[in-house]
Each structure stands twice: as structure tokens, then as C-alpha cells.
Chains A and B, each alone.
Chain A
Amino acid sequence: MAKKALVKEGTYFDSVSLMSISKDIKAMDGINEATIVMGTDANKEILKTANLLLPEAETAKPNDLVIVIDGKEEVLDKTIDETNQMLADKKASSDEEKEYNPGSLDGALDLQPDSNLVIISVPGEYAAREAKKALKRGLHVMLFSDNVPVEDEIELKKMAVEKNLLLMGPDCGTAIVNGAPLAFANVVSRGPVGIVAASGTGAQAVSSLVDRQGVGLTQVIGTGGRDLKSKVKGIEMIKDMKALDNDEETEIIVLVSKPPAKEVSKKIMDEVKKLKKPVIVNFLGGDPAVVKGTDAIWADTLEDAALKAAAFIKGEDEVSSASLKDEEIAEIAEEETKKMASPQKYLRGLYTGGTLCSEAVILLTEENGDIYSNTPLKDDFALKEDLKSIKNTVIDLGEDEFTKGKPHPMIEPSLRNERMAEEAEDEEVAVILLDVVLGYGSHMDPAGEAAKAIKKAKTKAADRGAYLSVIASVCGTEKDPQNLHVQEERLREVGAKVLPTNVQAVRVVNKILSDLN
């Protein structure tokens, strides 16, 4: 062990900074003791007691900085250098204040007292508690979290009814409130169409399409997927459609859901009867007869719902103008089919959006018979445990069995890309059907990612003398951060046929499948 001292004349540092630097130096390898002090008599006394008052330090004056290091001989010089460097850094350091994030809801309210909506996406077991707190404070809630017990959902929704607040969710992925895209949502114009949806991609598809028709939206309210099941009884949807009915800006209300439980469906339609404004009902795959006895307008598909809403606002009778004509569909299908090889006959649909997937399964089943799926129409056509595709298969890659421990494919498309590569190995596959969902929350270039896989899949097929058809649609708007037009181009560049909507894409696929048989 050895000691070394350095006196820097006329160099002032406050004692706290010096203690802090001393502490860091002392922690270095080979250092026994490090003392950096101003050369006051009191400090020199301390150095003396610690046996560190070397001769050069004895004469130091109160405005001189004294550095004394006690440690292994070979590291002393290096340590003195480092100390100098740290002192220099200290002088130079300027600390810009980082943005302050409060640690609690109340802290956030202190910071932003006029807050009116809380988005909650914490793990399910804690989510209900946070939602309850928010409701108690008179705040509207979007509950993105899933795995919230249904009993909690009912309690929260009843509380929200009492307090005239939104309780969107649990498991509500999409909403647009006052134009603001919440969680997974597209950027749309403001306008007179209001949506209440029990499904996230359903809401995204309808709102994007309304916007693309040049019509805007007042509100897109999500209820969470369980709202129309028999336990929850549509508490949220009923309350929200009433609110839209009373909202001066909203001129037409669109309800989007999978078919509700029977008694809930009746309850909803009873409430619809009381509304002053026109209502479009899209219970995907449900019975159009539910609107009987009401003034509500039935819509078969998400596209149909959007086009009817837009047509109503624009005062048009004809809504089919946006759809492609049968001849156009046939032309695209034929162009694809003629390039295919003999063993090619099956469809593989690879979806990231759950409702878009359901819509596809329903429309494909109508035209081409049963479709295998992880979310099949009939249990007989469920995929086996290995989730391998069988004949005509359409899968929802956003379901738990695929996403366990992985990000949702709308956020991270690699899950679908891997699956596409697998499907391309199968020489019986004729056509790949897919969706690309844009908007906030989604991947920043989902079509670009899909394009990479499409290119490889097409090459693989071509290598064995086949032609793999890829039929796609993009859900989104020109205003989305990814930009609809740019994304569609990405897909076209690699030879995919891009249709304006999921319904149109499915029509092409239906035609291809019929032509192949």
C-alpha cells in the first residue's frame, strides 16, 4: 500500500460533491481510502486523524482542493487521473429534468386535474381495482386488460351506469373518443357516424371504411367482447348507444358484435326501438331477423355496415357502388387460377384481426362449405392440438393458443411470417388469404413485414413450378401513421392481389376455390 496526494490550488467544490466523488473512488479496485476535501484546518485535522495528511497537503489553504489516495502503488497515478476526470465531469454536468411520471392515479390527477378518461392495461388481476378507483373519481375508463373476472366486469359496469361513465372493456382493444385513437385504433375524420362495438378489429374495420367513404365518426366505443354474453347482458352497449342517441353530433349509430346471447339480443333490440336515431346492426353471422319489428337496418358484414352508414349520411340509396362487380372479381380470380399447378386446391387464411377472421370464415363457409379453423363455426372443424392446417383452413393468429408468451401478431408480425413459410411448403395450397391492420398500436410497417414472407412463399412455390396466390386486404386509412396507400403498395410490389376490404378479398378467394373445384 502507498499514499499519494495532489493539491489543486484555488479549486472549489462543495463538500457534498466531494464526498460523492470520494465514495466512487474508494469503490475502485486497489483503493483503500480516498479523501477529497477543501484544505480547511478542520479538514486537515480529519486527514491527520486518518493518517492521510501527507506533506504536500499540510500547506494547503482553505480554497485549495486536496486529493489523498491510499491504495496499491501501481494504481495510484491512474486513480488521481480518474479523480481529476470526475471532478471535471462534475463541473460540466448539467442535468436536464426528465419528464415526471406520477406513480399513481391520484398523482396523475394532481398533475392533470382536468383528466376525464383513464386507459388501463395493467395485468388483469390488478385491473379491476384500478378501474374502480377511476370510476370513483368520476373518470371514464377504457379497460384494455384481459383476464378480468366476469363478476368484476359486471360490478364495474353497474357502477359506471350509476355514474354515467364509460366502462369500455375489459379486453377492449379499440376506441376513438372525441377523435383520439385509444389503444389499437385508426386515425379517422370526425363526422356524424357513431359506433358501439363489442369487437376490436370489427370497430377498426367499420370506422376505417366509413372514413374511406369520405364520412367521419363521432365516437367509436368499445364494450369488450363479453358485454353481449348472457352474464353481462349488454349493460355497456345499451348505455353507450343511448349516449350516442343523445349526442347532438351523432346522426346514425352502428352496432357491431358477434351474435349476442338470445335474451341479450332481444334486450338490445328492445332498447334500439326506443332510440330516436337510425341504427345499423351488424351481429356478424347472426340472424337478420333480429331487426324485425324495429326500424334498425341489418348489415351482413363489416363492410356492409360501414357502407350503409356512409350512404345514409351522404343521402344515397345505393350502397353497392363501393363493392366490386362480380365480373371484376371473376377476372382477378381467373388471372390467379390460370397460373396454378394441378395439385393446388386449398386455401390458407392467416389473420391477425379476430373479427376479420370470423367474417372470412362465415363468408367462405357460405360459398365453399366448411372451413377448418382454431375459431370454427362448428366444433367438427376445429384444428387439432398441433394447430396444423387441414384442407381449407382459416386461422386467427391473435388467439391465445398462438400468442402465449409472444406479442400479438398485429404488433409483431413474425408469428404470421413463420406460419406463411410453413404453408408455402404444402404443394396443395393454392391461395393465402390475409389481413393487414394499420393504426396506432399496430406494427409500424405490417405490410412490409408481410411482404417479406409473401415474396419467399411465392418463390418457394415458383421453384416447384406452382403459383401461390396471395389475396390481401388492408384495414386502415390514409391518415394512419403507416398510411393505407403505402401499405397496399408494399403488398402489390411482391405480387399480392390487394382488395379494398376483407369482404372483397374473400369474394376473390371464394371464386378461386370454386374455379379450382
Chain B
Amino acid sequence: MTKKLQDLFKEELNVINIGLESFAENLKDEGYNAVQVDWKPAAGGDKEMAGLLDDIENISDRIAAANEKAVEKIQKSEPIVIDVQTAKDALPDFSDKMILHAAPPEKWEDMSGPMQGAAIGACIYEGWAENEKEARKMLDDGQVTFDAAHHHNAVGPMTGIVSPSMPVWVIENKTYGNKAFTTLNEGLGKVLRFGANGPDVIKKLKWMEKSLAPALREALSKTDGINLKNITSQALHMGDEVHNRNKAATALFIREITPFLLETDHSNKEIKEIIKFMAGNEHFYLNLSMPASKATMDAAHGIEYSTVLTAMARNGVRFGIRISGLGDEWFVGEAQIVDGLYFPGYTEEDACPDLGDSTISETAAVGGFAMAAAPAIVGFVGGTVADSIRFTKDMYEITVDENDNFTIPPLNFRGTPTGIDLLKIIETGILPAINTGIAHKEPGIGQIGAGLVDPPEECFKSAIRAFAQKYIK
């Protein structure tokens, strides 16, 4: 039965106040409920955007239904790590002499310093080149094909470089059957993912290929797969947000895998070395959390009319997003410099613009969106626990739902903000919260800090234009 106007007169009055704050204060003084809105003009006063939003509003019911479907897939996804395989065997459409990198797709000559450095390292690692000079020449000559890892169901932190011989985690989305892949995390310091390519780096990668990967593979074969959704859920209650803090999740993973490692045919010495390697790298789990997010978000991709973001990724030059209802196109803008805290001896001038596929975390309701769960790293978001809570609360305004599995203790176990809605970003002007590591702009130096970064508004604006063009007649 539809409500009649006079029904209001029997209800308790609960007011939302948009504008002059005193109106809300007055109501509270008189004992009424009032919520004040910190109002900004829609789309920051951008008339074109506000106009598009108004047009799109006409199909809001279909969009809402599509977004509900997308979020249902996110909620129901069950990413499990089942295997470690060689990239060329595991990834679809991965040919020889191909190197994958953090999205969006970029030409060799336009790549950021660290990404070029890592690509060079991959050429040496693969044995395609003896040294940097040779590698650079073959890359300049176009002998290597580049593509975004995302196009092969893979994601990678920072430069995100994947070459054919590298071992990758195989993650299966148990609910929907799709798979996702990520290389194994090398640790901090001079590492390929930050563009380092010296002999030590290659040596470590070879050890990972020859020793670490087979052992993990064998260990995993003795399991029914390890449920990453469960580990992430637990880690969120232990101070991780599994993007910039993976301490707890790494420890939980080691706890799961160790008994199976001990069951393998590998020597005690080898196993000790492997456990020490995992334990000495508090971001070891990042390379599991990322493909878990990727497997989740791929399931939510390709739903007609959905405005949910299914990927955000940066390659050090450009920042790109994908929208569930807009196919495989990347909508891009310029990658921004991270506003953050720097390790001793480094400043913003040394920083490479925002880099890596790791923002898949935020699209999958963890990372910056779960900031309130990770008080230990609040320094990156302004310094106080209150800041981290505000950070997460803001994200509820640009998401469709709250997560059923990932919950935040300081918010009374409220689910993390889930399913970033392109329309809400444009409407509110609130950009997705991303906390991320900072790479040095020169190859090979590695991580020099961490902090916050805003995605460029432009990528959301071009996505809205494309959406209107596709769906509004």
C-alpha cells in the first residue's frame, strides 16, 4: 500500500539536513534526530557530469539491479589457492617472448623507469639477453611483446612484471570457476617488481623458480586448496588491510602451509630456507591477496548496465579503471604522485608516479577501503586512528554494499565498503581511497616510502561518458 502524505504526521521525524548546519543543530537541541550532510555540488559543480548523471538516472532501476548482481558475485566469490605453476603454462594466451606488466597497457618507450628496469631484468632472467645493454636493445627493437597482466587473468604488484618462466600462484574462484594468477613475492629491498635487475635479483628469482615454487607446489598438492577469503577475513581482525599491511595474513598463511611443506620430499634445510624466506617478508601474502581479489572481481565483470569498478590499476604513467558493464576497455588518466611518508634519504622528487595492479584490493573491498581495520599503519592516512576510520567511512558513500565476510572490529564489525560505484564517485566527488607503496623513479632502487594517492578524476569522467554513450539512447 502506498504511503499517504498524512502518514508522516504519525511517524517519528528523522531529518537529513543538506546545507546550513544550524538547522540540524537546532533540531538536535529540541531532541529530534538530524544528520548533517557535508554537501558539495554534484560532480564538483561540473555541469557536463551532472547532466550525464541526470540522464543516467532515468535507467537507475536497471543499473541498481545490475550492481546488485555484481556485488552478489563479489560477496559469493570464494578464492582458493590451489597450485603454483609456470606462468607460460598457467596463463591464457601467454606466448613466448612476451612480458606482462601492471595495467593499463603501455608501450615500451612510454613505460616508467622502474617498469623498464623490471622488463630488462625479465629479459636477463629468461636468458633472452646476457646483460642490460643487450636487453635494452632487444626491447628497443620490439622483439618482445608487452601486454597488461590483467588481460591474462593476472595481476602484479608495482611494475607487475610477469615473464614466461616465472612461477605463479594459481587461485581458483571456487564459486564461479574462474582463475587468477600472480607471481610469488620477492620481499623488500632490491627486487624486480621495483625495477631492480642486478645479479642478486636474478639469483633470487632463480631460487624462487627452482626451489621455492616446486616446494610450495608440492605442499599445495597435499591440501584441498587454502581458502584465501578466510585468511583475509581473519587478518582484518588482526590489524591487516592486506594491501599495505600483510603481517598477520602472512603469518596465517605460513601456519597453514608449513605442515604440508614438512610432508614434502624436500630436505629440512630447504624447507627451513623457504619458511625463513616467507617469514622474513611481511608482504608475502600480498601476492596471494591480489590474485584473490582479481579472481573475485573478474567474476563480477561483464554485467550489462553495472557501474561497479572491476579493476583499478596503475603503471607508473597512467591510472586505469575497468567498469563491469563497459567491457574490457581501460578508462585512463595520468598516474599521480603519492602523498606519503618517505624512508630516510628520499623525498617526493625521487618518487615514481603511482604504480602497480595492487589497487585490485580496493575494488575487492580491502586495502584502503579496510583502512579502519589497520590502526598500525594509520600514519599513512593522516596519523590518527580517527583518520583511518573516517577514511573507511567515506568509502561507504561510493560503494553499493557492505561486505558479508570482511568486517572491521573498530566499526563494530561492520562489513567493509564493497563494490565501488562509478556513479557515486562522480556524484559525491569522493575518490576511492588508495594507500600504496612508493617506488623510486629510477629502476632498481626499490620502495622509498608509502602513502596515499588519489586516482585521477579524468578516468572516472571518461568512463561515465562511455557509459552514457552505450546505455542512454
Chain A residues with CB under 8 Å of chain B are 14, 16-17, 19-20, 22-23, 33, 35, 37, 46-47, 49-50, 52, 93, 95-98, 100-112, 114-122, 126, 129-130, 134, 136, 138-140, 144-145, 164-166, 177-183, 187, 218-219, 239-240, 242-244, 246-247, 249, 440-441, 481
Residue in contact with B16 in the complex, picked from A14, A93, A108, A126, CB distance below 8 Å? A108
Residue of B14, B26, B38 touching A112 (CB-CB under 8 A)? B14
A428 to B12: give the CA distance in the assembly, Å: 55
Interface centre among A96, A126, A239 (most CB of B within 10 A): A126
Do the beta carbons of B396 and A46 come within 8 Å of each other? no
Name which of A120, A138, A219 has the most chain B CB atoms within 10 A of its CB.
A120
A-contact bits for B22-34, CB 8 A (1 contact / 0 none): 1110110110110
Partner of B17, one of A19, A98, A119, A249: A119
Give the Cβ gap from A203 to chain B, nearest Cβ, in Å: 16
Q: Is the interface of A mostly helix, strand, loop or mixed?
A: mixed
Are A104 and B13 touching (Cβ within 8 A)? no
Which of B24, B37, B376, B449: most chain A Cβ within 10 A? Answer: B37
Q: How far is the CA of A118 from the CA of B27 in the complex (A)?
A: 12
Interface locus among B152-160, B192-200, B292-300, B424-432: B424-432
Choose from A110, A121, A177 the contact partner of B396 (Cβ within 8 Å): A110
Of the candidates B17, B19, B378, B428, which one forms a contact with A16 in the assembled complex, judged by CB atoms under 8 Å apart?
B378
Please state if B26 and A20 are interface contacts (CB–CB under 8 Å): no
Contact flag A97-B386 (CB < 8 Å), given A19-B379, A46-B343, A181-B26: yes
Residue from A33, A115, A181 in contact with B344 in the complex, judged by beta carbons closer than 8 Å? A33
User: Which one, B9, B50, B428, contacts A104 given CB within 8 A?
Assistant: B428
Nearest CB of chain B from residue A15's CB, rounded to whole Å: 8
- Chain A residues within 8 Å of B15, by CB: 115-119, 180, 182
A181-B26, A243-B5 known; A106-B379 Cβ under 8 A: no
The verdict on B257 contacting chain A, using a C-beta distance below 8 Å, is: no
Choose one: A33, A116, A121; the contact of B23 (CB below 8 Å).
A121
* Listed residue (B16, B342, B387) with the most chain A CB atoms within 10 angstroms of its CB: B16
Q: Which residue of B is nearest A97, CB measured?
A: B386
Complex Cα spacing A126 to B40, Å: 10
**Which 10 A-B pairs have CB atoms at the shortest separation, nearest pair first?**
A121-B19, A16-B379, A95-B384, A19-B341, A107-B397, A35-B344, A243-B5, A50-B345, A440-B26, A95-B386
Is A114 in contact with B26, judged by CB distance below 8 angstroms? Answer: no
Chain A residues lying within 8 Å of B427, measured Cβ to Cβ, are 104
Interface centre among A16, A35, A111, A164 (most CB of B within 10 A): A16
B276, CB-defined interface residue at 8 Å: no
Q: How far is the CA of A161 from the CA of B444 in the complex (A)?
A: 66
Distance between Cα atoms of A470 and B381 in the complex (Å): 60
The listed residue (B18, B30, B33, B380) touching A121 by CB distance below 8 A is B18
Tell me the minimal C-beta distance from A388 to chain B in angstroms.
33
10 extra interface residue pairs, beta carbon distance < 8 Å, beyond A100-B390, A103-B430, A108-B37: A17-B383, A23-B342, A46-B343, A115-B15, A122-B18, A126-B42, A164-B4, A182-B15, A187-B30, A243-B9
- Supposing A105-B16, A115-B16 touch, asked if A164 and B11 sit within 8 A by C-beta, the answer is no
| Residue interface mask B143-181, A partner, CB < 8 A = 1 | 000000000000000000000000000000000000000
CB distance from A172 to the nearest CB of B (A): 12
B235 to A: closest C-beta gap in Å: 18
B72 within 8 A of A: no
- Tell me whether A145 and B22 are in contact in the complex, defined as CB-CB below 8 angstroms, given that A23-B341, A46-B345 are known contacts: no
Q: Contact at B8–A140, with CB atoms within 8 Å?
A: yes
Query: Across the interface, do B37 and A102 meet the contact criterion of CB distance under 8 Å?
Result: yes
Known contacts being A33-B344, A97-B386, is A111 close to B35, with CB within 8 Å? Answer: yes
Chain A hits for B429, CB < 8 A: 103
List B contacts of A134 (CB < 8 A): 16
Q: Is B2 an interface residue (CB 8 A)?
A: yes
Q: Which residues of B contact A118 (CB under 8 A)?
A: 15-18
CB distance from A219 to the nearest CB of B (A): 6
